[in-house]
Amino acid sequence: MADQYAQSGEDKPSTGIPVIRWEEPPEGPVVVLLDQTRLPAEEVELVCTDAPALVDAIRTLAVRGAPLLGIAGAYGVALAAARGFDVEEAAVALAGARPTAVNLSVGVRRAASAHRAALAGGAGAESAAKAALAAARQLHREDAEASGRMAAHGLALLDELLPGGGHRILTHCNTGSLVSGGAGTAFAVALAAHRQGRLRRLWVDETRPLLQGARLTAYEAARSGMAYTLLTDNAAGSLFAAGEVDAVLIGADRIAADGSVANKVGSYPLAVLARYHHVPFIVVAPVTTVDPDTPDGASIEVEQRPGYEVTEVAAPNVPVTGAGGGVPVAPLGTQAYNPAFDVTPPELVTAIVTEEGAVSPVTAEALAEMCARSPQA
Ligand code: MRU
């Protein structure tokens, strides 16, 4: 696989694998994704030739994680434009592919607005398509840059909260370079600590049902050479009780205006555990994840995923798709409760870190003030 970072000179993320890229072969432009459903067994690329293929990749989690969804959505709009499809229709389909991560609709909107503005300014279809692509590329670059700044702010906060270093960090889901143009969000902070010799251990929640922790975070941690240990989600309580966790670092899919945090299901129980055990619970996300139009946690739409993701587990090399590939772990016909995310109230969040800095305690006012400093606001 080509190494895009070698060409761009950007800080190389922890996997060193390009997770998304735009290509223009003679047959027409395509968006190439690293298919995350195949990891860690195989590094397989998925080539999307139109927006519906990208919508499908988003729904099946071949491409996933809030910041990357924004980038994918923007490239999806650019692809529709470059291939001469109905851009407005593609934008609606892409933005609606998954409901919780606000970055997806932010990314789609940026590319679609650039396209619209170009047409309104008298540009032809080809120039308008170029404007959409430029907007997608810009978002991609900004996200990479935001990763580095989040890592710096997050590490400074950790050092302030936990003087003495030797951090033992618990994380949930996957928040590294697989979800970003750069090194990611929460994982980028752990990686920065590791690179400075201040990470004693990364505790990795397996993250049932789709195992983003086991399949993806463990994969990134191993490639980064950090000391990490995988645990079942249910084992977190005993780990806290044993005094083995110094801080929890997670990402976010949407942060409401009041500081409520939607993230991968299982994050809220960690926040409750952290509070009981007096351990900082830190959320790391770009400003684009903060949604001023969502007033509070109750207003966040939580995606409900199919029951087969719970009643089956992925076989090695075979993702759970409902197509019969997974191994059944419940009697046929069993109903399952499968929300993809949960919502942690702001009072359980010690701090929210973005590329613009950190807020602690988390209040609507402090959050709005921090976001207002961003050119993305
Ligand atoms: O369902 P997923 O795998 O897209 O969920 C991803 C998460 O919940 C991440 O923690 C979140 O997007 C933050 S990634 C920086």
Percent share of the chain, pLDDT over 70: 92
Sign of CA dihedral 281, 282, 285, 286: positive
Cα(281)–Cα(274) distance, rounded to whole angstroms? Answer: 6
Q: Calculate mean pLDDT across residues 342-348.
A: 98
Q: How far is CA 130 from the centre of its chain?
A: 26
Which positions make up the binding site? 64-66, 98, 212, 263-264
Residue 99: cis peptide before it, omega within 30 degrees of 0? no
Instruction: Assess whether the C-beta atom of 67 lies below 6 angstroms from ligand 1.
Output: yes
Pair 22, 136: CB distance under 8 Å: yes
Q: Contact, 302 vs 264, CB < 8 A?
A: no
pLDDT recorded at residue 2: 34
Minimum-distance ligand 1 atom for the alpha carbon of 264? 8
Atom of ligand 1 nearest to the CA of 180: 15
Mean pLDDT over the full length of the chain = 93
Amino acid identity of 146?
A
Give the residue whose CA is nearest to atom 15 of ligand 1.
175
Residue 294's pLDDT band (boundaries 50, 70, 90)? very high
8 Å CB contact between 324 and 362: no
State the pLDDT at residue 12: 43
By most ligand atoms within 8 Å of CB, the mutation choice from 261, 263, 288, 343 for ligand 1 is 263
For residue 344, what is the DSSP state?
E
* 342 is an active site residue: no
Could you tell which of 36, 59, 174, 291 is best to mutate to test the pocket of ligand 1, judged by most ligand atoms within 8 Å of the CB?
Answer: 174
Catalytic site residue from 246, 253, 291, 342: 253
Count Cα atoms within 13 angstroms, Cβ side, for 201.
Answer: 13
User: With a 6 A CB cut-off, is 171 part of the ligand 1 pocket?
Assistant: no
Q: Which amino acid is at 133?
A: L
Q: Which two tokens stand for residue 376?
A: 């993305």
pLDDT value at position 150?
Answer: 98
CA distances from 244 to 42, 283, 322 (A): 33, 19, 37
Measured distance CA(256)–CA(292) in Å, rounded: 6
DSSP-derived secondary structure letter, 157:
H
Cα separation, 99 vs 351, in Å, equals 25
Q: Which of 9-23, 186-200, 348-362 has the lowest mean pLDDT?
A: 9-23
- Predicted complex ipTM exceeds 0.85: yes
Instruction: Measure 365 CA to ligand 1 centroid, in angstroms.
Output: 26
The DSSP bridge partners found for residue 171 are: 204, 249
* Closest by Cα among 150, 215, 138, 205 to 178: 215
Q: Is the pLDDT of residue 11 over 50?
A: no
> What stretches of 83-196 adopt beta strand conformation (E)?
167-171
- Say if residue 17's pLDDT is above 90: no
**How far apart are alpha carbons 304 and 307 in whole angstroms?**
9
Ligand 1, residue 64: give the atom nearest the CA: 4
> How many Å lie between the centroid of ligand 1 and the Cα of residue 57?
15
pLDDT, tens digit (0-9, with 9 covering 90-100), for 60-104: 999 999 999 999 999 999 999 999 999 999 999 999 999 999 999
Q: What is the pLDDT of residue 114?
A: 98
* CA of residue 15 relative to chain centroid, distance: 15
- The Cα 265–Cα 107 span in angstroms is 23
Domains and CATH numbers, the chain: 18-141 (1.20.120.420), 145-371 (3.40.50.10470)
DSSP annotation of 295 reads -
For 6, counting Cβ atoms within 10 Å of its Cβ (0-12 exposed, 13-18 middle, 19+ buried), the class is exposed
